């Protein structure tokens, strides 16, 4: 019998494979039932997330990690905040990621659950926030800073994760380009494609604009 978290992993694998725009390959942290390729780590700390995936961007091929949880218990989802520990270990060089013997650079650290393809993280979710009905959010929606449709617990979890990440950036004295952090969900009222809602570093030097950390909602 497949354990609930393993079922969540298979669901996320299928979602990334079939509904993403730019995902190239997905790597498990262990031998798996579908014979998908694996990633490995080296370093002082070998605690790792569940997936690494590669995807095509305008800057070339990039890599992201995902901590995947089964949402049958809320505490499972809350436990995914250890993604911040994975981030810290990576930033400090205590954990290095490898695929086929080659070290890779991680651009994003994400959280996802078996509910991510449905547009939220927890099993028990309150009525969604219809942010597009609020005039003060029109500008944020225009620049794709957050999902048009959100559920209350996912909203609070994501904002909390981003807030704690801001504290971590202060602790590590991160002032410029580094990996981003956030969640994977779909924009389910429009489609069930793969999106991230994350705080990322925007390098705008090419456009002669100020580079900055910004909250973004984008399709992968």
For residue 149, pLDDT beyond 90:
no
CA-CA-CA-CA torsion for 134, 139, 142, 143, nearest 10 degrees?
-130
Q: What's the CA gap between 20 and 152, in Å, rounded?
A: 25
Residue-wise pLDDT for 205-220, tens only, equals 655 678 789 999 999 9
DSSP secondary structure letter of residue 115: T
Q: Domains of the chain: which residue ranges? A: 4-219
For residue 131, pLDDT beyond 60:
no
The mean pLDDT value for 145-149 works out to 82
The mean pLDDT value for 61-84 works out to 97
For residue 171, pLDDT beyond 80:
yes
Exposure of 183 in the CB half-sphere (CA atoms within 13 A): 31
In order of 11, 59, 93, 146, 160, the CA distances from 124 in angstroms are 19, 38, 37, 21, 18
| 133 pLDDT tier (thresholds 50, 70, 90) | low
Higher pLDDT, 104 or 138: 104
């Amino acid at each position: 019998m497949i354990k609930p978290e393993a079922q969540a992993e298979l669901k996320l694998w299928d979602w990334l494979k079939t509904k993403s725009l730019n995902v190239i390959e997905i790597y498990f942290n262990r031998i798996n039932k579908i014979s998908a390729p694996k990633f490995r780590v080296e370093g002082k700390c070998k605690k790792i997330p569940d997936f690494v995936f590669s995807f095509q961007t305008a800057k070339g091929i990039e890599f992201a990690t995902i901590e995947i949880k089964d949402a049958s218990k809320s505490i499972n989802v809350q436990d995914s905040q250890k993604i911040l520990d994975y981030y810290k270990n990576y930033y400090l060089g205590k954990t290095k990621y490898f695929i086929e013997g080659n070290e890779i650079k991680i651009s994003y650290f994400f959280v996802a659950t078996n509910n991510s393809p449905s547009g939220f993280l927890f099993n028990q979710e309150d009525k969604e926030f219809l942010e597009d009905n609020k005039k003060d959010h029109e500008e944020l929606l225009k620049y794709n800073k957050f999902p048009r449709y959100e559920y209350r617990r996912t909203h609070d979890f994501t904002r909390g994760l981003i807030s704690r990440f801001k504290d971590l950036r202060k602790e590590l004295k991160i002032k410029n380009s580094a990996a981003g952090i956030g969640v994977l969900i779909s924009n389910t009222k429009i489609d069930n494609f793969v999106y991230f809602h994350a705080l990322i570093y925007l390098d705008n030097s090419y456009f002669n604009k100020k580079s900055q950390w910004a909250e973004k909602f984008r399709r992968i």
